[in-house]
Amino acid sequence: MQSNTPSWFSRWYSLKKIGWVFKWVLLGAMLSYLYLTIQEKGQSLQDIYQLLRERFTVNHLTELGLVIVLTPLNWACESRKWQLLAQKIEKISFFQSLKGVLSGLALGFIMPNNVGDAAGRVLSLQSAKRLTGVGAALLSNGLQFYVSLFFGTVGWGFFILEQLSLQNWPQLTLLGILTATLLFGIWLIISRKKAEVYLERFRWFRWIEPYVDVIAQYELVEIWQAFRWALLRYGVFSLQFGLLLSIFEVSLPILAALACIFLVFFAKTLIPALNFLGDLGIREASSLYFFSFYNIAPARIVAVTLTLWCINILLPVLVGVFWTMKMKWWRE
């Protein structure tokens, strides 16, 4: 009997190509939006470069130094969260956890969606059952997503209250969907064991069930401990964003600034991107949109987000690449 493997592989490969085409189109659209928005306001890339030169001086050394110092704290929070969740597979030190997190960040540049992040964490484990760490990695990312969802919903609610142009049924419907998703997330965590039993009825779930089964084994107190680190990490990179707004003299009321920050991070979480760019483009495009409600010069916003990307993503990736090259990809 003829195998259907080639046919299955062809379909999978075709879908993969379509996905990559979509991501390239999305990236092109975002970069075009950035360029046209800057041009529309009578500014150019030269303005962004000039702003960066003005701020990267000794006059702003203290503020920039603080933003840079917060970067290790940012990834330390993520590493502690992963260390707590990885205990279900094996006991790891904080340093091992940090290596796994930064390796995942580096692999995320070349692998689709959250695959690279999970791969870096799982491959850093020593246990023969380390593939079950996929479930722990998914839970870690899920907790961080929920924090972003919560504050993104708060930010969107603030925007609707403050901006008359957004007070119509599509925006209100979106707010309702976000709120319902928040409630569903709470139910899913509380009923995680029942949810797993229900999903086992579906054939498509059975092949990944051994890898995500670990999620149902966590107690609520363990999930809460990890969730607190997700909250702290969110607070750290929100503070970094706020400090950079101050450095580049973006003046806004505190609530409006926080709402914009929350929505930018939420957009970055939701919108797919070319992962080897580490969300470069998404943050800038979403920032231009949300800050445009307050008539902030686009060059200042792009300068802020580009600096944040370099400090929070590019520098840790360079460290992660070093550890990734030393990683043992196969266990006996």
Separation of alpha carbons 69 and 81, rounded Å: 19
Separation of alpha carbons 140 and 313, rounded Å: 18
> How many Cβ atoms are within 10 Å of 126's Cβ, its own excluded?
12
Nearest to 48 by CA among 273, 302, 318: 302
CA angle 115, 240, 235 (to 5 degrees): 70
> How many Cβ atoms are within 10 Å of 253's Cβ, its own excluded?
10
Rounded-to-10 torsion of CA 332, 135, 193, 205: -80
Separation of alpha carbons 174 and 177, rounded Å: 5
3-state class (DSSP) for residue 92: coil
CB 88 within 8 A of CB 219: no
Backbone angles phi, psi at 74, to 5 degrees: -55, -55
Contacts by 161-166, CB closer than 8 A, 24 or more apart = 162/256, 162/259, 163/293
Backbone angles phi, psi at 289, to 5 degrees: -65, -55
Would you give per-residue pLDDT tens digits along the chain (332 residues)?
444 444 444 544 455 555 556 556 655 665 665 555 555 545 455 666 677 777 777 677 888 889 999 999 999 999 999 999 988 888 888 998 888 888 888 777 766 556 777 777 887 787 767 777 888 888 999 999 999 999 999 999 999 999 888 888 889 999 999 999 999 999 888 887 777 666 666 666 666 666 677 888 888 999 999 999 999 999 999 999 999 998 888 889 999 999 999 999 998 888 754 444 456 567 777 888 899 888 888 888 888 888 888 888 777 777 777 666 655 544 54
User: Which tokens sit at 47?
Assistant: 């303005």
pTM across the whole model: 0.81
